[in-house]
Amino acid sequence: MPAVLGFATIALFLLLTMTRRVSVLVALVVLPVLAALAGGFAGELGGMVLDGLSKVAPTGIMIAFAVLYFSLMVDAGLFDPLTRGLLRLAKGDPMRVTVATAVLTLCVALDGDGASTFLITVSALLPVYRKLGMSPLVLSGVVCLGAGVMNMIPWGGPTVRAMAALKLESSDVFTPVLPAMGFGIAWVLVASWLIGRRERRRLGALTGPGGETAAGEPVAATPTGEPMAATATGEPMAATAPAPGDGPGAVRVAAPAPRWLTVFNLLLTVVLLVALILEVMPLPVLFVLGFAVALLVNHPTWEQQQALLDRHAKNVVLVTTMIFAAGVFTGVLTGTGMIGDMAEALVSVIPDSLGGHLPVLVAVTGMPLSLVFTPDAYYFGVLPVLAETAQGFGTDPAEVARAAILGQMTTGFPLSPLTAATFILVGMSGVQLGEHQRFIFRWAFATTLVMTAGAVLTGAFSL
């Protein structure tokens, strides 16, 4: 019964959010509560919800102050040189911007933390996309592809969990799939090029405000001459007008910051990023301290500080409420035992005839199952059973672990409603989760398929 309720809850969630029948926040809270009541867990519901909320609280705190920090830095013009540099390199060509997005994401994602990857890349690139009038779905989608494949690194969450669950070393799990990861990185660059070409056809390479596209058609512009950005549905929208959930980049101050202040902001940001990578302190503490220092130096008066908080409060609320709602969702599904029963049900339906092909089956299904299982539920609940089953058919359990990291919460995590980082990505990009999933799912799934083929060709696991 719990397994059926769990699968039904997730299926209904995906249906309602992808068809935009209800908001993601409402679905994340209401659906698991209804499922728990239907399963007879009314008496334990409060504890489950609090459990889920307490687990995401550090992430929620970190994101609240991280959004404020990067919003302040964008307002202060810290990323303007990068924006101008990318615009010069892109020469008004959306395809070049899209490929540059993939390259930047692949580099930033080396820290192994999805949340910080999204915070940094979206903060830096959103102004570029708005300047060129590109769809924010392209930004969230390409960042999703780059961060997904890089989440396979040994210090990333999925690989660490796979090694811990099966008591394996990095040399057993990650090293054999390095060539396959190379295939995945190459595919991400190809995919970003293809997506960029499509965006170029839709929009044209802009030559300047109110200029012409590559096709010779005039670019839609505001009365002041600013290019019109595109909404998630492709409708024109003023590039300088903030959209709901745009996050950093939504508002810019008119006057440029003094040079000394820009240098200070750059040094502070570099120190903060290094501290994040070295884990000098917990991430929420670092962002709380970093924002407090940045606010005091950039806006020394009470009136200025209040103005900045008022300006970006909406963005903070939009992102953090999603994260806490996701905590309710995972807390109820975990507390009721739905996720555990779903794992057992999944393993039980695998026929014996496929036992010898389990690695390929695990690799191909891992990415879609990121929408169903939390990383802990899959790697500590499903993976050990799959590995034991594979061993019974003469397959090395390490091969199953290698297969799992090709998709489960790697290429799939930036689309999953079960990870808080996903809501950072969509919230800061200003897109809806359902739109984001529809736009990039097939490209992300193709990344897993390419890496699976690469793994078979290079002998990481057998067919």
pLDDT bin (cut points 50, 70, 90) of residue 244 is very low
pTM for this predicted structure: 0.71
pLDDT bin (cut points 50, 70, 90) of residue 111 is low
d(CA 97, CA 86): 7
pLDDT bin (cut points 50, 70, 90) of residue 272 is confident
Q: Between 62 and 210, whose confidence is greater?
A: 62
The answer to whether residues 370 and 413 touch, using CB atoms and an 8 Å cutoff, is yes
Q: Which residue, 127, 136, 102, 134, is CA-closest to 204?
A: 134
pLDDT bin (cut points 50, 70, 90) of residue 255 is low
- Mean pLDDT over 316-333 rounds to 83
Q: Give the model's pLDDT for residue 142.
A: 96
Q: Give the model's pLDDT for residue 231.
A: 42
pLDDT bin (cut points 50, 70, 90) of residue 74 is confident
Question: What is the average pLDDT value for the chain, to the nearest integer?
Answer: 81
Helix extents (H) in 170-282: 170-173, 178-203, 259-278
pLDDT bin (cut points 50, 70, 90) of residue 208 is very low
Q: Between 126 and 154, whose confidence is greater?
A: 126
- Mean pLDDT over 86-115 rounds to 83
CA dist list (Å): 270 to 41, 101, 368, 408, 414: 48, 20, 36, 32, 25
Asked if residue 219 has pLDDT above 60, the reply is no
Asked if residue 295 has pLDDT above 90, the reply is yes
Instruction: Supply the DSSP symbol for 134.
Output: -
